[in-house]
Amino acid sequence: MVKTLERWRDEMPQNFEFTLKAWQLITHESSSPTFKRLRRKLTEKEIKDAGAFKLSPIVKEAWKVTLASANALKARTVLFQCPARFEPTKRNIANLQKFFSSVDRGGLNFCWEPRGEAWSDETIRELCTGLDLWHVVDPFARATVTPERCYFRLHGRIRWRYQYEDVELEELATMIPRNSLSYVFFNNITKTQDAEVFQRIVNQIR
Residues 9, 91, single domain; the answer is yes
- Rounded to an integer, what distance in angstroms lies between the CA atom of residue 120 and that of residue 198? 30
Residues 56, 15, single domain; the answer is yes
Residues 21, 121, single domain; the answer is yes
Q: How far is CA 62 from the centre of its chain?
A: 15
Please state the domain count of the chain.
2
Q: pLDDT tier at 96 (50, 70, 90 boundaries)?
A: very high
Q: At CB < 8 A and 24+ separation, what contacts does 3-10 make?
A: 3/72, 5/69, 5/72, 5/73, 6/72, 6/73, 8/73, 9/72, 9/73, 9/74
Domain hosting residue 148, numbered range: 138-206
**Residue 36 pLDDT > 80:** no
Residues 58, 155, single domain; the answer is no
pLDDT tens figures, 119-176: 999 999 999 999 999 999 999 999 999 999 999 999 998 888 999 999 999 999 999 9
Residues 33, 121, single domain; the answer is yes
Residues 142, 66, single domain; the answer is no
Q: Give pTM, 2 decimals.
A: 0.92
Is residue 34 exposed (0-12), middle (13-18) or buried (19+ Cβ within 10 Å)? Answer: exposed
Residues 15, 69, single domain; the answer is yes
